[in-house]
A and B are shown apart, each in its own frame.
Chain A
Amino acid sequence: MSKLHELYANSAIEHFGMALRIAIGKREFGGCEDYASLVELDYVEKEEQFVIVLKKFLRRFDACARRWERAHPGRSSFKPSEKDLDEVVRLAQEYGVRVVCAAIMSHALVYSEKGEKE
């Protein structure tokens, strides 16, 4: 079985993938159309760059989550935890940045709960 399949099932990857899916989603579905993070994740190759890209992504995602929380008072938005971040960085060191990015991006390809259906 491929390493990518194992990584795809990892919960930290799943949480980051879900965050990316929300981030690139349409505003009407609660997303924030953050294509910059998508492009950065697509081109990152080294571990140091990967950490910077994750930092930028989380900062943008945090702004997006706060905007959503303001629009939906009393409800809290989904965010990847600190543990997830540690795990993703560890996985990038173990399996390589390109494989981890591919696994995160794969999650962005699937349906979100609020997403559009065929």
Chain B
Amino acid sequence: MTKFVINKTSFEMFDVFRAYGLAFLISGFENRVETDICDLGSLFLIKTEGEIPKEADSKLFEETGSSWPLVFKTFKKRKDLKVKHPIEEAEHVAISEYNKILDIHRKYDFFPIFGKKVREGKTFYQTMDVSAAKGYREEKRDTYHDGSQIEVDKYSWVIASLGAAWFGIWPQNLMRRDASFLMCMVPNPKKVLLMSHRDVQNALDKRLCVTSANASLIHYSVKLAQLTCRKSDEIEYDSVVFNVMQKTGQQPKPSGGGRYNLDLLYNLAKTPEGFKALEKIDKFLLPIDPRIKGIRQDIALAVTDFLMRPNLNNLRRFESLYIRGMTNKKNKFFPWDEPQLKEMLRYVEIA
């Protein structure tokens, strides 16, 4: 067994992408070795069984089936530009420096190097972590300026890019022109077998509710909990890390980010009644079309708030909206099965 280490920084999404990226760089597209990732608090431990491949898999840099174009969405191609496109650059670094990347991550003391000018550093894109967006980490006094771009060492950059391209979840229907925000999510690997993680992500429906960023996050988390609750020996996630960007006329601007804890959803999914309640939420309450307005949209927002903070106020808001929906035949809001609702009430927090 060989162990690799990803030390955590303050960039949560960047850390998760690095963990997935390094594991994928080793295992390759065809799962050449069995690789699993464990979150040990201050670091991610990547364990591989079997002989480590001698070189990087070039298929990892193909655009089909990946989100490579989205990761470098803000990169502008110009004829006179002398630098390579970041995808080509990532491929070049991963293939030529494959052994070096593995070697430095075998050591427990390697931390990514950040700064405005890092030796052979690469631009830290906001799609890898929204808190890396220009000017987020510097003071602006007297006069306004856009801020400067953060750079990161190329070894950390390449594995984070790989992770973002293959493991970042970009809801498909947020690519519509009428959706006002962009979002990227990734489940935090508490204990994950990479192969199973890829199967789950391929099976997961990426069309999510676009009523709000929180609704998209909850919709994805509900789907994830449904798919993985019975596979806890191979896959264990504890939270979903998310980044939100606001669409503008030009580049998307940073909007926010955070981490959603999956405990409530997993607790619900443990029992058959709770699982059915999640199915109901997934099926009826979260419209995937942003043109849907009225009570269905209100319900989606109310149930989102309830699943984010299951307190009495949010439950009462959801209840009164749902009853109003039920009383109007046009809405087709059907009553709940008693055991399912009872299971949901088990987790309501009363201050």
Contacts and interface: CB of A to CB of B under 8 A. Distances in A.
B and A form one assembly: yes
A106 B345 contact: yes
Interface of B is mostly: helix
A4 B316 CA distance: 12
Contacts of A117: 334
Contact of B320 (A3, A33, A98, A105): A105
A110 interface: yes
A42 B316 contact: yes
Nearest to A109: B336
Contacts of A108: 323
A42 B348 contact: no
B342 A5 contact: yes
A24 B312 contact: no
Interface in A63-117: 98-99, 101-103, 105-106, 108-112, 115-117
Given A5-B346, A99-B350, A110 B323 contact: no
Contacts of A103: 345
B327 A110 contact: no
Contact of A112 (B320, B327, B335, B342): B335
Nearest to A99: B350
B316 A105 contact: yes
Interface string B310-339: 001001100110110011010000111110
Interface residues of A, number: 29
Given A8-B342, A111-B335, A102 B319 contact: yes
Contact of A110 (B312, B336, B346): B336
Contacts of B334: 116-118
Interface of A: 1-5, 8-9, 24, 26, 33, 35, 38, 42, 98-99, 101-103, 105-106, 108-112, 115-118
24 contacts: A2-B347, A2-B350, A4-B345, A4-B348, A5-B348, A8-B342, A8-B345, A24-B323, A26-B327, A33-B327, A35-B327, A38-B323, A98-B312, A99-B312, A102-B316, A103-B345, A106-B341, A108-B323, A109-B336, A109-B341, A110-B338, A110-B341, A111-B335, A118-B334
Interface of B: 312, 315-316, 319-320, 322-323, 326-327, 329, 334-338, 341-342, 345-350
Given A33-B327, A109-B341, 7 more contacts: A3-B350, A5-B346, A5-B348, A109-B322, A110-B335, A116-B335, A117-B334
